[in-house]
Amino acid sequence: MGDEARLQVGKDLLTLAQASRHAAEKCLIEHDWSGLPIPVPGLSMVLEPRYKHQGIAEFRWKECYDESGVREVLEEEPTSEPSEYRRVNSWWDSRHRATINVVHDKQGRARFYPSFPDRLAFTIRTMDAAAVWPVEAEQRAQSKLATLIPTGQYDLYFLTGHFAEVSERSQVTYLFRKGRPTIALRQTEEDSNVLCALCLHPIGYYGDTWAGVMCPTDEVIAHLLMMRGSEEKYWANANQHPVDHPNAGL
């Protein structure tokens, strides 16, 4: 295929962000509040169990085009053989910075092995997931957030991607962060006691990333409103990560 016949990305071909935009517009016409998550090549999608479009998580792209319009075939991941081991427990070991996994074999004998999460890989995969977020969706979400928090707090968020709010009920300080879990801590005049990182994605997220299927500030708004409405429900629905675990995003 000659250069003159190559398809142009953004004109003849849709980017992932454009596909996300078109899907959202179609869902709005059909009065579907949630939009439709767009799969990202190479990343798994984990959806909230009550989300009605569960089938989208099984979708896999078969081809894509690079920035020059050159077609690339995406090979399907080989089907793995069923493991003879069944994981029965796991926990985070802060001393060794590893997840300790306990498994049973078919005879019920226990074994354990450590796994070491890669923080840099989390960051890179999160950047890959960002390809599905339309820029204007993030801009609108930031405009909405500006109406929910004081001007000084919003300016801080705009500049750093962080702002804090103290719960009037529990006196817990919540550090809301763009594209990362929310940090919960108790502050006194002498010290700060970090409780955990609260990870919650209202619709779903991309596996082994910090990226949700919604644009980052939409998820910050969800965290903020859930905390203000019911801290108990917020904590009950969020995954609570130790702050030294890579999933915490510190």
Residues 146 and 225 in one domain: yes
Tell me which amino acid residue 99 is.
Answer: T
Residues 124 and 195 in one domain: yes
Nearest-angstrom CA–CA distance, 76 and 1: 25
Three-state DSSP at 136 gives helix
pTM for the complete prediction?
Answer: 0.78
What are the strands, taking DSSP E only, across 107-242?
Answer: 110-115, 162-166, 173-177, 182-187, 192-199, 204-206, 239-241
The last residue of one of the domains, among 99, 115, 131, is: 115
Residues 101 and 127 in one domain: no
Number of domains in the chain: 3
Task: Determine how many CB atoms are found less than 10 A away from the CB of residue 87.
Answer: 11
Residue 156 structural domain = 119-248
Nearest-angstrom CA–CA distance, 181 and 100: 22
Comparing CA positions, the residue from 157, 156, 184, 160 lying closest to residue 171 is 184
DSSP assignment letter at 239: E
Residues 140 and 238 in one domain: yes
Residue 65 forms part of a structural domain: yes
Residue 14 forms part of a structural domain: yes
User: What separation in angstroms does the CA of 117 have from each of 120, 155, 196, 248?
Assistant: 9, 33, 18, 12
Q: Name which of 30-44, 120-134, 170-184 the model is least confident about.
A: 30-44
Residue 81 forms part of a structural domain: no
**Is residue 2's pLDDT more than 50?**
no
Comparing CA positions, the residue from 98, 100, 101, 99 lying closest to residue 87 is 101
Query: For 165-184, what is each residue's pLDDT tens digit?
Result: 999 889 999 999 999 999 99
Residue 167 forms part of a structural domain: yes
Residues 61 and 167 in one domain: no
The last residue of one of the domains, among 42, 73, 104, is: 73
The structure tokens listed for 161 are 């991607």
Query: Position of tokens 């053989």?
Result: 81
Of 2-6, 129-133, 171-175, which one has max mean pLDDT?
171-175
Nearest-angstrom CA–CA distance, 99 and 115: 5
Residue 202 forms part of a structural domain: yes
Residues 54 and 102 in one domain: no
Comparing CA positions, the residue from 245, 226, 246, 250 lying closest to residue 237 is 226
- Do β-strands 204-206 and 239-241 pair in parallel, antiparallel, or remain unpaired? unpaired
Residues 147 and 225 in one domain: yes
Query: For 68-123, what is each residue's pLDDT tens digit?
Result: 667 777 777 666 667 777 777 777 777 777 777 888 887 778 877 777 777 788 88
Three-state DSSP at 196 gives strand
User: What separation in angstroms does the CA of 145 have from each of 76, 181, 225?
Assistant: 40, 17, 10
pLDDT of the residue at 225: 94
Residue 216 forms part of a structural domain: yes
pLDDT of the residue at 4: 45
Residues 133 and 33 in one domain: no
Residues 183 and 221 in one domain: yes
Residues 45 and 164 in one domain: no
The last residue of one of the domains, among 44, 73, 102, is: 73
Nearest-angstrom CA–CA distance, 219 and 212: 8
- Higher-scoring residue by pLDDT: 26, 222: 222
Residues 34 and 91 in one domain: no
Of 15-19, 22-26, 141-145, 209-213, which one has max mean pLDDT?
141-145
Kindly report the backbone phi and psi dihedral angles of residue 157, in degrees, each rounded to the nearest multiple of 5, phi listed first: -65, -45
Residue 149 forms part of a structural domain: yes
Residues 131 and 103 in one domain: no
Residue 80 forms part of a structural domain: no
